[in-house]
Amino acid sequence: MIRGVIIMNDQGKPRLVKFYEFQPVEKQQELIRSIYKILCSRADNVSNFVKVDSLFGPDVRLVYKTFATLYFVFIFDNSENELAMLDLMQVFVETLDKCFSNVCELDIVFNFNKVHTILDEIILGGQVLETSSSEVMKAVDEISKLERSGNSIIPSIPGWQGR
């Protein structure tokens, strides 16, 4: 099972925090700080897995990947395959990239809800739902359409483009 997904930037600022088991918000912030401490001490071109028994209990692992200024972090237990998690992260990033055409940190900062929507289409309750980014895109587009149609007063926040 996937325990959590975190996106944070290279200064340790969280951009997306999603835990699939309830964590009090103070605990979340503490975990993010500890994870950042581990990640920023690691050199480039080293393996992407970190053992985080001390933070999450036995058998829990963390896989991370750096994309430009962002760390993408997946936390999962031993019923997931490590390399498959890396693939899934790739799917997530690909989808973000398609959605925001050339995704950058600011897109994720300004599209809080949409990033959550995308993630919810990929992972539900800690289980992998969809591994094809085009399928995810299809669903997300439909949802955006739905949001726009039923809402004339508040326009749904468009993809942040005017960088």
Residues in contact with other proteins by the rule CB under 8 A: 1, 14-18, 20, 22, 24-26, 28-29, 42-43, 45-50, 78-79, 81-84, 86-87, 109-110, 112-113, 116-117, 120, 124-131, 139, 142-143, 146-147, 150-151, 153-154, 156-157, 160
SS3 152: coil
Nearer to other proteins, 67 or 160 (CB): 160
Nearer to other proteins, 26 or 102 (CB): 26
Looking from the CA of 158 toward its CB, the CA atoms found within 13 Å total 4
Q: How far is the CB of 54 from other proteins (least distance, A)?
A: 15
Helix H or strand E segment including 127:
strand 127-128
In the block, tokens 């290279």 appear at 10
Q: How far is the CB of 151 from other proteins (least distance, A)?
A: 5
**Residue ranges of the alpha helices (H) in 8-163?**
25-40, 53-56, 82-100, 105-110, 112-122, 133-149
